[in-house]
Amino acid sequence: MASKRTSLGDVSVNYLQCRDFSHAWKWVTDFTPYRVDRKIVAMTRTIVCMRCGSTREDEYEVPSMIKIKSRYTYSEGYRLIGEKRRVPICEVRQEIIIRINRKEW
C-alpha cells in the first residue's frame, strides 16, 4: 500500500509557523561531554521546539565550541510524505495566506 502524500494544506498551524518563523527552540540539556579514552573530544546539547515538539541535537568541537553538526528528529506529521525537496518558504507563506483568506488561521 502506497503512503499517503501530504501537502502543506494537510499540516497544522504550528508546523506552518515553525516553517515560516523557524523553530521556537527551548533548552533541554546542558552541554554534555563526549569522551574517547577519557579525553573530551566534543560536546553535545539538545533543544526542543516549543511549538511542534521537534528536537535538535547539536555537536560542538572542543575546545573551540564551533558547532560541527546537528541532528533533527521531527514530530509526527511535520515532514511531508513523498516530498523529495525542501519546501520553499514562499510556498509556506502562500499556504498561510490561503488559510487567512478562508478564515482558517
Assigned domain for 58 exists: yes
Strands (E), the chain: 25-27, 32-36, 39-49, 55-61, 67-73
CA within 13 Å, CB half, 103: 0
pLDDT, tens digit (0-9, with 9 covering 90-100), for 6-53: 789 989 999 999 999 999 999 999 999 999 999 999 999 999 999 999
Cell of 16: 506552518
Look at residue 2 and tell me if it is in a domain. no
Domain that holds residue 15: 8-101
| In a domain? residue 3 | no
pLDDT digits (tens, 9 = 90+) for 44-75: 999 999 999 999 999 999 999 999 999 999 99
- Counting the structural domains of the chain, the total is 1
Q: Is residue 1 part of a domain?
A: no
